[in-house]
Amino acid sequence: METTTTAIDEMLAENERRNQHIQQTFNPLTGEGCLHHRTHVHIHDYKPCDVWLPESMMRDDMVRGIIRCGAVSAYARQTRHTTSEMMERLEYLRCKHDFCYWAWRYVRIKPKDGGEDIPLTLNRAQRRLVEKFEEARLQDKPIRVIVLKARQWGGSTVTQIYMAWLQLLLHKGLNSLIVGHVKTASAEVSSMFDKLMERYPMRLLECAADSPDEDDNSPTPFTTDSCDIFTTSTTQHSSDSKKNKASNSKITGDRHSRLLRNIPLRNCKIKVGSAETPNSARGGDSALVHCTEVAFWRKTDNKTPEDIIRSACAGASYKPHTMIVYESTANGTGNFFQREYDAAKRGFSQFKPLFVAWWQIEQYALPLEDAASFAQKLYNNRTKKEPTHLREESGCYLWRLWEMGATLEAIKWYINERRKYNDHGNMAAEFPSDDIEAFQNSGSRVFDTYQIQVLRKGCRPPRTKGELRGSAIKGKAAIEGLLFDTDDNGLLWIWDEPEHFSDGTVSDRYEVVVDIGGRSHKADWSVVCVIDRYWMLQGDKPVICAQWYGHTDIDLLAWKAVQIAHYYDDALLVIESNTLETHDDTRWIEGGDQSAYILHEIKEVYPNLYARRQSAEDIRERRPAKYGFHTNIKTKPEIISTLVEVVRERLYVERDERCLDEYDTYVRRPNGSYGAVEGKHDDLLMTRAIGLHICFHEMPMPKWIPVIRQKRKPHIQGSLWN
């Protein structure tokens, strides 16, 4: 009891620390708690007097002079300028160096719950995103970010506002392109820019001389010009007056189409398009590109999402002052966005990943009437793995939210929100707790993502790569004089070489499984997988120890598999052998069924070939053995069921992450069949499914067989008398 009380006290103390961190000061007016390293300074006649300025701003000569003098007016007298001129200049510099301040001062947004427009005060999630942008910009690197998000925290808004800041204050001639998934989203973007520019001060845009009253020393925003911000094509002017009108306008363009805006004083354009109309999403010379809700882009007009992205980003070269952002909520696995996020997360992309969980968004929290009682219940149920209702989560899951970093108030919100959904997958799609469950496919996935993550711990690069070479590529000579040629571009990856002992051998140690693909690069991959069962001698797990993965002719693949099986101590060779009776069209091989001929040819040379179990009738009728594993509508559910159990219970060690990627995109379809999602493969997965099913259910347990050396008879020399 005392231990439980201590645990609850510690939870409450930790919850208080988490809430204090969430509620820590963020004041864009003073700069306190804002992004970047900042310096606290006191300027007597600046309102407010105490401000925290970014380090980049502190390097400006004028700013250092004002701080040295202690007041703007004192520095103005010293440099023979008016105080208002210096105030205006200081305001411009503050906006140029401090995005948080500029967004709060000059950008207005509509609150989520309705009401009058309010200043854009960055929330915690928005600050994390801007911090990513600024990290790259301040290092003079291209900005490349992919954002996986929960709903309703303003990720799209702050991305577009940040791009506007770059255009309006930092660099001339930066064209931007925003591509939404539907036309209505693009129209909303246009409206937001119109609202920004409508109240944006012309003098700030021009960095000109007009300023507030000299008697008012506070940095009051520049007054909004009353001139029409649009130049419409229907207005009648002479050519000169049109030119003057355009040059004096803050923004020009067709107010009806809302597809293109120009900011003459910054020599830049803002273009919006949608994935629904691919021609509107051509990037041209756009250095700033924001692609929003990418996971929901569909193939249209023979254009894939990849095609649209490529066209949109064509103008953004990999140079400083360019920016590309992919941003979306998740929409299942196997699509362009999921693949790009995964590549970024694993460090294989130009992009930096950012995931924002629902519990990192401050609005998703509810007050607690009795925090101690709530914490007690959470703690007591932390080991319960089954929920009591479809619209609830298990105690184990709620405890995991606490361990992730969610506050008790946030967990209460989650419990309440979860009652809207019958399925965890639907809740996870809208409000993911981490970037793994974000891609849950509404319960249709075959393998649990968290169990897959555990298997990833065993993955590692191969010790060596190369190819096996025999005296020939086919026939008996293929396994004669067999040698391994090391080659960094080789398709045979070896994690563990075959092992031989001087004092004995291990029976039934190695198993080689073959999944037959096609020879063209658009066909399924061919896979030869080697499973080492040695550790099962000691009650441990089988391990993937080698693998060939590529495209080749079917007959050459079969003999390559024979070479690999012979190399691995004459392993049991299991070749998938679908016949013409196979009804599983997803496992059909290019060029028709050639299995019978190939298997017969191999059997003449390599005797340790897998044969299907014979029925009593087959034995009685003395029917010949059927070689190879037959994947069909009966056996496929069996081997997938075995694989699900093996993954769940962690009964084997995987070495190749590509196989686990296939687990991640393997689904049960509405008709009950299994297969990879569109655009993905399951070739590696099938070798594990077949191989591990045979490993655990058909092969004998491996045994240690010592070498029995015959004792040599003593040599008796002949008698000297003979």
Convert the pLDDT of each residue in 566-592 to its tens digit: 999 999 999 998 733 343 444 444 444
In this prediction, residues 57-75 reach a mean pLDDT of 94
Two tokens, residue 566: 């012979």
Helix, strand, coil shares, percent, the chain, to 5: 40, 15, 45
* Mean pLDDT of the 617-646 span: 85
Query: What is the token pair recorded at 229?
Result: 């911000």
Return the domain boundaries, the chain. Answer: 1-26+363-442, 118-215+246-356, 464-703
Confidence of residue 669 (pLDDT cuts 50, 70, 90): confident
Q: Where are the alpha helices (DSSP H) in 119-272?
A: 124-138, 155-165, 183-198, 202-206, 239-247
Residue 420 to residue 436: CA distance in whole angstroms: 22
Tell me which H or E stretch contains 572. strand 572-575
Is residue 340 within a helix (H) or strand (E), and if so which, with residue range?
Answer: helix 336-345
Is pLDDT above 50 for 226? Answer: no
* Amino acid, single-letter form, for residue 85: E
Show the CA angle centred on residue 595, arms to residues 589 and 601, nearest 5°. 145
Alpha carbon distance 642, 694 (integer Å): 10
Q: How confident is the model at residue 618 (pLDDT cuts 50, 70, 90)?
A: low
Closest by Cα among 588, 599, 606 to 626: 599
- 227 pLDDT exceeds 50? no
Q: Name which of 468, 471, 624 is nearest 548 in CA terms.
A: 468
User: 422 and 328 in contact (C-beta within 8 Å)?
Assistant: no
Band (pLDDT 50/70/90 cuts) for residue 186 is: low
Q: Give the pairing type, strands 260-263 and 268-274.
A: antiparallel
Residue closest to 166 by CA, chosen among 323, 346, 372: 323
CATH assignment of 464-703, among 3.40.50.261, 3.40.50.150, 3.30.420.240, 1.10.3720.10: 3.30.420.240
Q: How far apart are CA 449 and CA 435, in angstroms?
A: 10
Whether 637 has a pLDDT exceeding 70, the answer reads yes
User: What is the number of other CB atoms lying within 10 angstroms of the CB of residue 514?
Assistant: 28
Please check the confidence at residue 553 and state whether its pLDDT lies above 60: yes
Instruction: Please say whether the beta carbons of 29 and 422 come within 8 A.
Output: no
Give the model's pLDDT for residue 251: 81
Question: Whose CA is closest to 305, among 329, 338, 272?
Answer: 338
State the Cα–Cα distance between residues 366 and 357, nearest whole angstrom. Answer: 17
Which two three-digit tokens encode residue 614? 């014979």
Distance CA 84, CA 218 (A): 10
Q: Does the pLDDT at position 636 exceed 60?
A: yes
3-state secondary structure (DSSP) of residue 270: strand
> Which of 519, 609, 503 is closest to 555 using CA atoms?
519
Tokens for 259, please give them.
Answer: 């597809």
**118-215+246-356 belongs to CATH 3.40.50.300:** yes
Is it the case that residue 131 has pLDDT exceeding 90? yes
Task: Please report the pLDDT score of residue 107 as a whole number.
Answer: 93
Distance CA 195, CA 109 (A): 9
* DSSP letter assigned to residue 169: I
Write down the residue that tokens 């093996």 correspond to.
646
Residue 98 pLDDT exceeds 80: yes
Sorted by sequence, the CB contacts under 8 Å of residue 387 that are 6+ apart come out as 393, 394, 397
Confidence of residue 491 (pLDDT cuts 50, 70, 90): very high
Q: Which regions of 4-83 does DSSP assign to beta strands (E)?
A: 38-42, 50-54
Average pLDDT over residues 70-92: 92
Residue 280, pLDDT above cutoff 70: no
The radius of gyration of the chain's CA atoms, rounded to the nearest angstrom, is 34
Question: Residue 653: phi, psi to the nearest 5?
Answer: -110, 120
Q: Cβ neighbours of residue 456 under 8 Å, at least 6 residues apart?
A: 654, 657, 660
Write the Ramachandran bin of 234: left for phi over 0, alpha for psi from -120 to 50, otherwise beta.
alpha
CA dihedral 529, 535, 536, 538 (to 10 degrees): 180
pLDDT for residue 662: 92
Is residue 406 within 8 A of residue 417, CB to CB? The reply is no
Residue 25 and residue 38 in contact, taking contact as beta carbons nearer than 8 Å: no
Which is higher by pLDDT, 4 or 514? Answer: 514
- Burial of 646: CB neighbours in 10 Å, binned 0-12, 13-18, 19+: buried
Q: What residue type is assigned to position 43 of the chain? A: I
Two tokens, residue 691: 């191989």
Long-range contacts, stretch 304-308, CB < 8 angstroms, 24+ apart? 304/336, 305/275, 305/335, 305/336, 305/337, 306/336, 307/278, 308/179, 308/275, 308/278, 308/281
Burial environment of residue 650 by CB neighbours within 10 A (0 to 12, 13 to 18, 19 or more): middle
> Could you read off the pLDDT of 429-439 as tens digits, one per residue?
789 998 888 88
Please state, as a whole number, how many other Cβ atoms lie within 10 Å of the Cβ of residue 705: 11
Average pLDDT over residues 300-318: 84
In the numeric block, which tokens belong to residue 319?
A: 């140079």
**Whole-number average pLDDT of the chain:** 85
Residue 49 pLDDT class (50, 70, 90 cuts): very high
The distance from CA 20 to its chain's CA centroid, rounded to whole angstroms, is 30
Question: What is the distance between the alpha carbons of residues 449 and 331, in angstroms, rounded to a whole number?
Answer: 15
DSSP string, 704-721: EEE--PPPPPPP-PPPTT
Please give the structure tokens belonging to residue 365. 């929290």
Would you state the pLDDT for residue 221? 44
Residue 133, helix vs strand vs coil = helix
Q: Per the structure block, which two tokens stand in for 189?
A: 């973007």
For residue 697 the two structure tokens come to 């259910």
Q: Could you tell me the pLDDT band of residue 52, with boundaries at 50, 70 and 90?
A: very high
Which candidate, 276, 315, 311, places its Cα nearest to that of 293? 276
- The pLDDT tens digits for 189-209 are 777 888 888 889 888 887 633
DSSP 224: P
